A and B are shown apart, each in its own frame.
Chain A
Amino acid sequence: GEDVEQSLFLSVREGDSSVINCTYTDSSSTYLYWYKQEPGAGLQLLTYIFSNMDMKQDQRLTVLLNKKDKHLSLRIADTQTGDSAIYFCAESPSGTYKYIFGTGTRLKVLA
């Protein structure tokens, strides 16, 4: 099936690093994305990674891609209370505009 799996919850202390994991299904996916959703709002694009990359860093965000295991992770360094939100990974299978979204991980940052 086309299930993109994520753990449902993650709780970290302010200042610690957060790691959100995602397992995707379609090996043809060219791009993989991370989006952030705050309560009652739409999705904000955080970053993406091209499938021929292993890692991408963008300020506090680091994306790691293990294509062999179809595993994607998002690391947030120095996590702040403003990072509390739901984080969705999404894959975009080759040849289509469509996204397949993960189940979402609810990140709670404790002060």
Chain B
Amino acid sequence: GAVVSQHPSWVICKSGTSVKIECRSLDFQATTMFWYRQFPKQSLMLMATSNEGSKATYEQGVEKDKFLINHASLTLSTLTVTSAHPEDSSFYICSAAGETDESTGAPDTQYFGPGTRLTVL
């Protein structure tokens, strides 16, 4: 259980276009979803936290008009990079929380998607 998918796994787009990335929890309902950005050989940087049906909470320094997050259901969150530029090129990873791992008892564990590599030309 606790599988999270992302689509697409990679995308190349032209500068100025918008790109939408989907994050789905396949076998559980995600109370909260998170979006991270990871630069090469670096750790994950949390961009925003979203709860189903409410506005996302963005971390300091993350432009909410640039990175639009929608969490329309308990199994789907989307991140739209608007007017993408080469500096937005990165590896974007989502995670979902809400499943209690009954074998281990850890609540609120985050389960991660496989990531989406965005390249903006």
Contacts and interface: CB of A to CB of B under 8 A. Distances in A.
B108 A97 contact: yes
Contacts of B34: 97-99
Interface residues on B, range: 20 to 34
B32 interface: yes
Contacts of B97: 97
Interface stretch (B67-75, B76-84, B109-117): B109-117
Nearest to A104: B43
Interface in B25-68: 32, 34, 42-44, 46, 49
Given A98-B49, A102-B43, A103-B43, A45 B109 contact: yes
B52 to A, nearest CB: 13
Interface in B9-31: none
A8 to B, nearest CB: 9
A101 B44 contact: yes
Contact of A40 (B32, B46, B117): B117
B49 A97 contact: yes
A111 interface: no
Nearest to B9: A40
A35 B112 contact: yes
Nearest 9 pairs of A and B residues by beta carbon: A43-B112, A42-B112, A42-B114, A42-B115, A101-B43, A101-B44, A97-B32, A48-B106, A103-B43
